[in-house]
Structures are given as structure tokens and as C-alpha cells.
Amino acid sequence: MTRNLPVITSDYRIRKSGRFFRFTTEDSGFAMEFDGRWLGVIKLPTSYAGKVTGMCGNFNGVREDDLVTKTGQNVTGDPNADILIGNSWQTDSNK
């Protein structure tokens, strides 16, 4: 299915902004940007601070504790941190 941008619904918007594709929700303030190749950026409103976990960190303002595997292992400083984190968050359907 091919669509022209922007796509605007009552729940979300998808548009091209500079070199990024930008997805935003209307109610939560969540935004995700993707450059079409490899760079992705997730933006959350401050109301989510300290309430999230995952590959992008926990959003508590402390960068030193963002590099954590799904099991809680802090891999900050490990040269393979990105691989360890990515592998830990894989689901069975991705393996």
C-alpha cells in the first residue's frame, strides 16, 4: 500500500520534515523520527520521565543508567553495549 504524505488522522500524523519521516500522536505527545536509513529518534513529553524502560533508556535524566539490558544489567562502558542491549530485547519472533 502506498500513500502520499502527510497522513493525518484523528489519532496520529505522519509527515516528512527535512530529511526525517515524523510520526506523532495527537493525545500523548509521543513523536518518532526516522531518516529512512538508520537514524531513529524517539521523543516523549516530560510526563513520561522515569516511567519507561527499553532500548532507549529510562528517561530519568541520568545518562549513566540508560544502557541497561532487559534483565537490568548495566552495560555502560562495555564496548559491545549496543549488541548486548539489542539482543536482550529481542523477541522469539526476531531470532
pLDDT digits (tens, 9 = 90+) for 11-38: 999 999 888 999 999 888 899 999 989 8
What proportion of the chain, given as a percentage, has pLDDT over 70? 95
Q: Give 74 or 64, the one with higher predicted confidence.
A: 74
Whether cis (ω within 30° of 0) applies to the bond prior to 45 is no
Task: Please state whether the predicted TM-score (pTM) of the whole model is above 0.85.
Answer: no
Provide the H-helix boundaries in 1-95: 81-88
Can you tell me the distance from the alpha carbon of 82 to that of 88, in angstroms, rounded to the nearest whole number?
A: 10
Output the CA angle 7-12-16, nearest 5 degrees.
45
Identify whether the C-beta of residue 36 lies closer than 8 Å to the C-beta of residue 54: no
Can you tell me the distance from the alpha carbon of 92 to that of 84, in angstroms, rounded to the nearest whole number?
A: 16
Instruction: Encode pLDDT of 67-85 as tens digits.
Output: 999 999 999 999 999 999 9
